[in-house]
Structure 1
Amino acid sequence: MADKSPSASFIRAMAAEKAGKPEEARARYLEALQAEPQNPKTLHRLGVVELRLGRAREAVVLFQKSLAIAKDPEVYLDFGAAMAGMARWDAAATVYAAALRVAPDSVDAHYGLALALHSQGRPQDAEPHYRKVLATHSHLGEVHNNLGVALQDLGRFAEAVAAHREAARLSPADASALSRLGVALHHLGHDAEAEAAFRKAIGLAPLDANIRHDLTCLLHAVGRPADAVAAGRPAVALDPSSARNWLALGNAAHAMRLREDAWRAAAAAVRLEPSDPAAHNNLANALRELGRLREAVAGYRAALDLQPDFPTAEINLAQILSILRESNGALAILRNLLARQPLNVEAWRRLAGILAEAFRPDLAVAALRKAVAVAPDDADACADLAMAAAMSGWSAVSVVACRRVLRLVPGHGAALGQLVHQQRLLCDWRDLDGLEALLLRRVREGGEGVSPFDVLSCASTLADQQSAATRWAAAKARGTIPVHRPAALPRDGRLRIGYLSSDFREHAMGHLMVDALETHDRSRFAVTAYSTGADDGSPLRRRFEQGLERFVDLYRHGDTDAAQVIASDGIDILVDLTGFTTFSRTSILAARPAPLQVNWLGYPGTLGAGYVDYILADPDVIAEGEEAFFTERVVRLPDCYQPNDRRRAIATTTPARADCGLPADGFVFCCFNSAYKLTPALFDGWARILAAVPGSVLWLYAGNPQVAANLRREGEARGLDPGRLVFAGPIPHAEHLARHRLADLFLDTLPYNAHTTASDALWAGLPVLTRRGTTFAGRVAASLLRAAGLPELIVDGQEAYEAAAVDLARSPQRLRGLRERLVRNRQSCPLFDTPRFTRHLEAAYRAMWDIHLAGGQPRAIAIAAEGGSGLPSAAQEGND
């Protein structure tokens, strides 16, 4: 008969288990338990077999029964392993802790407990148990590696690097140790070493997609998106089911502006992990880059449905709603976020940006002050504060913010340019020469971020201005998607001209352009005004809306949508009237909504943009031989590039001198230019002029009280009685024109001339004395005077300028003759002959379009003055 004693069954069960026959072993252990049901060893081994057969619940019951009979450390270890295998980390930790109470020195129990605690997210509790194992088993590379991971989780990266290095030394073929070492090195900023570790790990485990994922993330983080894409593609090929691999590849492709690749990668991640809010956020980012803004909004909302408290997605959604001009929705999102996270600097910055775009710079300043209070060392927040304060007219606040930015980031281009401009607006000339020299050096060294407008009023060259504009235009075009233009639209034989501007309102540019736009020949030209500025409710705004054939309000359209509207209208020539001035929308031009695009009037210089074909000028503002400094092809109108409004009203009542703070007697020099056009050298000359003309005064515009205070201080430093400086504040335009009658001579500025202010003076009958400059901005007054029939008021050189001013003040009869000629010419001179100007303008458009229709590239054009036929003609100046 067969021996069925418990010991014999147990022995046969052990043999079957050892031979890899778990079913037979189970049967034999059950036989043993029938004879001796309370045998702890048999219960233990049967539990182990049940575990191997995949019956974890049965195994747990057997382990518990065994331990109830005898506290055997080996049972605890197997029981703990069972819990760990079921990912029951809390139970595993409890079991391993119980094992240590029975056998305090058990290395296996310490290691099991360390792994269980670590897996619960308790690296600080796991660390001492890893170290307990290594105290007696320092040769175990795996334990060093896991200790390193725990130290990384605790943010102790230097210690983690040491642990991973030891793991790699002990186990040189362990790719995991090298990969973890790479992660720790990256956290310490040792990126070259990190990359080397990752690449060595890939050499050991070329099919490990996780290591390639980590390398992809590293390369993306250090600004090498092309290399990151190269690393990320094998990762998704090795493990296409991993959403994290697709996300990493998508991030790298996004950084490279591989828009389609980024979208496909993000879409794959969403398909694989539809409940991952980060994947939805990334997909929305990719859709935004593709110009699919409404789909992007849906993507961000999907991310927030999954994770309502997701600041990154909230800020992204607010930003895109702002782009879509849904400001109220964007503001609501950000305010809700800030109610939860009042220390979120990025949210404050985004809130401020939307408020500024909504023409509430005062509220933007308040928001940015909070951002700077939260993060005083955040240079971006300080730079935003400087810009918002400038928009509010708070130049002193802007100056302080700019100086803070420059302390944080010496050489910061935008802050340096803004500081120069704001100090100019305040006439605070202390250290201005040095700041301007720094600004121009940055431009000449190819520095980014300098606004071209800030360069115009410095002692800059045409080359400087082109350099700054080229980089600025490229930045504005970055990420822009060309819009679709219809292949063909019904045509009525007219050339379609679109005018793009934020200044169809009570604004200097609005006053200049309105008459010319109204005067277009509607039988030959279909004219549309595209307004990107807010409706200020002014009579001038109503005049634009009512006086033009079409007026399209694009203020609430994002740049892409606005460009698509223009393209869908089939505009032939789009004329930008804003340039790089406040509230410009250059990205609309970058989307190329029209076959031909023109820079005119709003900005006195090149836009430096390959997407702008022509610049309208005249022989004075752009001299022969200067074409190379303009990215656009130069079109010269015969008289003056600047139009004027024949209906510009002048108040009939002239104020008394006393009402304006002027003396009853004495010569009145004036300059109503903005304060930023004044310079110390110019003021030196004015002081000498006043000294040479006893009893004279200088009447200046000062919208900011600090301007008057600073100029009085500067005057005293030059020996001037402060009473000889008189300051005019802002008043309605018609009354402002009327007060020009109290002045005797307008003194122009350099390097940035009077532009609209010179036209105002000449229209009001006040002669303007100008010194010809070396750039477009410094020659406008010369162009105006020539077109007004007063070329003798154009001089070259400072000495001639001062001598002419003094001579005119001492020659009242000559000055009276100039005034009479100006008033006599006002109805007939080219400067104020708007129909003549518009015919020349239309000839320019027709010449541009004829070249385009013939398949030619844009080239220089000169428009001849209209002859006996009454029609102007065009001549091509070359093929450059």
Structure 2
Amino acid sequence: MWNSLKSLFSKSATGPTDVAASASSAAPSSDSTNPISQRAETPAQTRGQIQAQANQLIDTGNQCEEQGQLERALAQYQAAAELAPWFPRAHLNLGNLRLLHGDAVAALRFYEEAARLDPHYAAAHFNRGNAHFQLAQLKQAEAAYRQALTLQPDFIDAAVALGAVLDQQHAYEAAIEIYRSVLVKVPNYAQVHRNLALCLQKKNRFLEAIQSLRHALALAPQLADTHVALANALRDIGRVKEAEPQYRQALQLEPQNWDAYHGLLFALNYRPEYPPQILFEEARQFGLTLAQAFPARMETNHIEKMEEFSKPRRLRIGFVSGDLRNHPVGYFLESVVSALRDFHPDLELIAFSTYDAHSNPDHAQLDDLARHFQQRCHAWHPVAHLQPAQLEDLVLQNQIDILIDLAGHNAYNRLGLFSRKCAPVQVSWLGYFATTGLSSIDYLMADPISLPADQEPFFTEKIWRLPETRLCFSAPRSKVEVNPLPALNKGYLQFACFNHIAKMNEAVVALWSRVLAAVPHSRLLLKSPPLVEALAQEDTLARFAAHGIGADRIVFAGLSSREDYFRAFHDVDICLDPFPYTGGTTTMESLWMGVPVISLTGQHFLARQGQGLLVNAGLSDWVAQNEDDYVRLAVDWAQNVDKLASLRAHLREQIMRAPVGDAERFAEHFADALRQMWQRHRASNIEQ
């Protein structure tokens, strides 16, 4: 969290330099909580002279910091504090050095002492807020920033920081208001335009966000993170071709901008014109770059003596993810974790949650699914606030045998941890659908359907196939029931796609237009967050109009609550899967609501995800072999609504009994795979 926060402030706000040009004096104090233990009474007539000497020491310390001489800087600040223990500026600078070294707890003590010595010292309250922010103490950070602004209303950095902490607390409208007020005073503050855009995105105001980001880049084209933010926004409204050069520009500016790399590799999966060889080479290059920054550790994790290899013990399985919560990854993982815990006592499950809201000390932002994982795993570690080295140490301390990445290039990933090889066996599973590009990850879990043998050369990981399916669906925590087929009452068929609009490339629009043309009076419901905006709707209608489909055939829906999301299926007869980026969670949730999905088979892993799910749900006849077959399936089922209604009535029960929904069956296969991986590792060590 702190790394992302630093980019929001000016240098004086985040760096170790003194943020105040001067400080008022305060009365002496004998408070034992002062971080400076040595304290002496100073005659009033010499206080000004001593303060001037202390200021000189601090100024010299600031110069040392600028030159990277941190030890000398520390010595200057300590001398200033010992000379004038009542001088708040000395404590402030000592706190800044502690914060620079990642010790926010120690820094906070110095900042609090500076604020105690001078309660009107706005810089002390501001930096106190920074320390609280680094410690994920968001409410305390917010209060400190507000105090700084009360004392100094024109304290721009404090206002920007307040916007950031409101953003972290999901108070997006309040953050937007703060950022707009800053821009009234400082209209050319590029980073604030960027921060504003990020909040607008979270309120699904994508086009406004893009406008703000373009403004930010016009002011500061050298800011790589702003190029990344613009690329993400463009990708999220389906303009992936425009997003790609923005990611690449960010990487030219900062070759180790990991967010740019993750975004680029993720976005390339939306591009059907790129063959697997290109995607593989891009990922492999990322892996090489990451390995240079995070080389594998020389020491081996918890080396076992040779004679101990044969002794039975529980395998320690670590899950690393930012999605151990109400999120698609969490929805698939929920029943699997429970089945592993209940039926496989030889496995010890340890969760490392990288989601920032989970690092709040009081766990106030754990949702119901996060609490489930916290209770069902043997250990739960919120780690978003940890620096890379701290996370490595925690994993090593937990003596993880098999470390599983559930994120890939998605948000909140910690691939740098996997590059360091902090566990003997490392695995990629569930959260990503292509190679990570890391040679340090030993295996990628797949299945016989979703990943053909001829695709294995396009993975840096060895492919480990589970016998049936790589994914297991958990029944949603929803009380929404399946309703009768709506076409029986409406007199027309309604198709739908609830996948993100970014998956709807031109080939998809063309094929869906063929479906609508072949099924008279049918309609297509598109439900995706960007479609709340009128301009996004107009753009989508224009894309279908180019294929002869009128606006009366397209229905839009945006973001909704989870319960309303499920209720939206009550108006849907058949769902249409996009390609080559097929659905995963949306496919299974559609089936759970009794709505079958037509999916087009593909050649590579991601393009066959829909096929793998449908076959393992007992719906292999819903997989189209080509585009003509896709249209034929839509027409055939539209002409047989009685059969479609019958399927709808029992589909929920069918999928939960099938391999894709049987968690106990899946956990058996999954646990067996983990044991075999460990046996291979032990055998290779014995041979050596």
Same fold (TM over 0.5): yes
* Alignment match of 2:212 (pick from 401, 417, 442): 401
Could you tell me whether the CA contact under 8 Å between 2:235 and 2:243 is conserved in 1? no
* Alignment match of 1:552 (pick from 380, 385, 391): 380
Could you tell me whether the CA contact under 8 Å between 2:501 and 2:528 is conserved in 1? yes
CA distance in 2, matches of 1:579, 1:506: 18
Residue 803 and residue 394 in structure 1: after superposition, are their counterparts in 2 closer, same or farther (change >3 A)? Answer: same
Q: Secondary structure at the match of 1:526?
A: strand
Could you tell me whether the CA contact under 8 Å between 2:280 and 2:435 is conserved in 1? no
Which stretches in structure 2 are left out of the alignment for 5+ residues?
1-55, 359-363
CA distance in 1, matches of 2:489, 2:234: 30
Could you tell me whether the CA contact under 8 Å between 1:768 and 1:793 is conserved in 2? yes
Once the two structures are superposed, residues 14-56 of structure 1 have per-residue CA deviations (whole angstroms, 9 ceiling, x without a partner) of xxxxxxxxxxxxxxxxxxxxxxxxxxxxxxxxxxxxxxxxxxx
Once the two structures are superposed, residues 848-867 of structure 1 have per-residue CA deviations (whole angstroms, 9 ceiling, x without a partner) of 3334445659xxxxxxxxxx
CA distance in 1, matches of 2:192, 2:645: 55
CA distance in 2, matches of 1:832, 1:476: 40
User: What pairs with 1:231-380 in structure 2 (closer than 5 Å)?
Assistant: 248=63, 250-253=65-68, 264-274=71-81, 284=95, 287-288=98-99, 290-301=101-112, 315-380=126-191
Residue 513 in structure 1 maps to residue 333 in structure 2: yes
Instruction: Note the C-alpha offset of 1:327.
Output: 1.8
2:517 is matched with which residue?
691
Residue 290 and residue 538 in structure 1: after superposition, are their counterparts in 2 closer, same or farther (change >3 A)? Answer: closer
CA distance in 1, matches of 2:299, 2:190: 35
1:146 is matched with which residue?
none
User: What pairs with 1:509-658 in structure 2 (closer than 5 Å)?
Assistant: 509-520=329-340, 521-531=343-353, 532=355, 533-534=357-358, 539-541=368-370, 543-546=372-375, 548-550=376-378, 552=380, 554=382, 558=386, 567-582=396-411, 594-608=423-437, 614-624=443-453, 626=455, 630=459, 632-646=461-475, 651-652=480-481, 654=483, 657=486
Could you tell me whether the CA contact under 8 Å between 2:231 and 2:244 is conserved in 1? no
CA distance in 2, matches of 1:501, 1:839: 22
CA distance in 1, matches of 2:437, 2:194: 24
CA distance in 2, matches of 1:404, 1:774: 41
Instruction: Note the C-alpha offset of 1:476.
Output: 10
Q: Which has the higher contact order (CA 8 A, sep 6+)?
A: 2
CA distance in 1, matches of 2:599, 2:384: 41
1:438 is matched with which residue?
245
Instruction: Note the C-alpha offset of 1:398.
Output: 1.6
CA distance in 2, matches of 1:483, 1:314: 43
Could you tell me whether the CA contact under 8 Å between 1:643 and 1:834 is conserved in 2? yes
Residue 784 in structure 1 maps to residue 604 in structure 2: no
Residue 493 in structure 1 maps to residue 313 in structure 2: yes
Could you tell me whether the CA contact under 8 Å between 1:554 and 1:562 is conserved in 2? no
Once the two structures are superposed, residues 765-815 of structure 1 have per-residue CA deviations (whole angstroms, 9 ceiling, x without a partner) of 433222345664443212212322434544466555445544554566886
Could you tell me whether the CA contact under 8 Å between 2:266 and 2:410 is conserved in 1? no
Which is further off, 591-600 or 811-820?
Answer: 811-820
Instruction: Note the C-alpha offset of 1:625.
Output: 5.6
CA distance in 2, matches of 1:269, 1:748: 65
Instruction: Note the C-alpha offset of 1:510.
Output: 2.3
Q: Secondary structure at the match of 1:831?
A: coil
CA distance in 2, matches of 1:843, 1:296: 48
- After TM superposition, the score normalised by the length of structure 2 is 0.72
CA distance in 1, matches of 2:519, 2:490: 16
CA distance in 1, matches of 2:628, 2:553: 22
CA distance in 1, matches of 2:459, 2:126: 39
Residue 280 and residue 615 in structure 1: after superposition, are their counterparts in 2 closer, same or farther (change >3 A)? Answer: farther
RMSD: 4.7
2:203 is matched with which residue?
392
* Alignment match of 1:456 (pick from 266, 269, 272): 266
Give 1:666's aligned amino acid: Y
Give 2:262's aligned amino acid: P
Could you tell me whether the CA contact under 8 Å between 1:424 and 1:675 is conserved in 2? no
Q: Secondary structure at the match of 2:660?
A: helix
Q: Secondary structure at the match of 2:548?
A: coil
Which is further off, 848-857 or 670-679?
Answer: 848-857
Give 2:283's aligned amino acid: Q
Residue 472 and residue 678 in structure 1: after superposition, are their counterparts in 2 closer, same or farther (change >3 A)? Answer: farther
* Alignment match of 2:577 (pick from 748, 762, 775): 748
Which stretches in structure 1 are left out of the alignment for 5+ residues?
1-240, 254-261, 858-878
Instruction: Note the C-alpha offset of 1:425.
Output: 4.5
Residue 433 and residue 331 in structure 1: after superposition, are their counterparts in 2 closer, same or farther (change >3 A)? Answer: closer
CA distance in 1, matches of 2:345, 2:433: 31
Could you tell me whether the CA contact under 8 Å between 2:337 and 2:377 is conserved in 1? no
Once the two structures are superposed, residues 102-160 of structure 1 have per-residue CA deviations (whole angstroms, 9 ceiling, x without a partner) of xxxxxxxxxxxxxxxxxxxxxxxxxxxxxxxxxxxxxxxxxxxxxxxxxxxxxxxxxxx
Instruction: Note the C-alpha offset of 1:392.
Output: 3.1
2:532 is matched with which residue?
705
Could you tell me whether the CA contact under 8 Å between 1:618 and 1:641 is conserved in 2? yes
Instruction: Note the C-alpha offset of 1:519.
Output: 0.2
Which is further off, 368-377 or 810-819?
Answer: 810-819
CA distance in 1, matches of 2:79, 2:391: 36
Once the two structures are superposed, residues 84-117 of structure 1 have per-residue CA deviations (whole angstroms, 9 ceiling, x without a partner) of xxxxxxxxxxxxxxxxxxxxxxxxxxxxxxxxxx
CA distance in 1, matches of 2:467, 2:503: 27
Once the two structures are superposed, residues 635-677 of structure 1 have per-residue CA deviations (whole angstroms, 9 ceiling, x without a partner) of 332322222115765633627849xxx9711222211112332
1:466 is matched with which residue?
283
CA distance in 2, matches of 1:656, 1:819: 7
Once the two structures are superposed, residues 310-329 of structure 1 have per-residue CA deviations (whole angstroms, 9 ceiling, x without a partner) of 77776554333222122223
Q: Secondary structure at the match of 1:506?
A: coil
Residue 272 and residue 493 in structure 1: after superposition, are their counterparts in 2 closer, same or farther (change >3 A)? Answer: same
- After TM superposition, the score normalised by the length of structure 1 is 0.58
Give 1:510's aligned amino acid: G
The size of the alignment, in residue pairs, is 601
Residue 831 and residue 793 in structure 1: after superposition, are their counterparts in 2 closer, same or farther (change >3 A)? Answer: same
Give 1:268's aligned amino acid: A
Residue 424 and residue 566 in structure 1: after superposition, are their counterparts in 2 closer, same or farther (change >3 A)? Answer: closer
% same residue = 26
Give 2:382's aligned amino acid: L
Instruction: Note the C-alpha offset of 1:757.
Output: 0.4
Could you tell me whether the CA contact under 8 Å between 2:123 and 2:148 is conserved in 1? no
Could you tell me whether the CA contact under 8 Å between 1:746 and 1:768 is conserved in 2? yes
CA distance in 2, matches of 1:599, 1:425: 25
Could you tell me whether the CA contact under 8 Å between 1:483 and 1:564 is conserved in 2? no
Residue 614 and residue 335 in structure 1: after superposition, are their counterparts in 2 closer, same or farther (change >3 A)? Answer: farther
Could you tell me whether the CA contact under 8 Å between 1:483 and 1:592 is conserved in 2? no
Q: Which has the larger radius of gyration?
A: 1
CA distance in 2, matches of 1:246, 1:344: 24
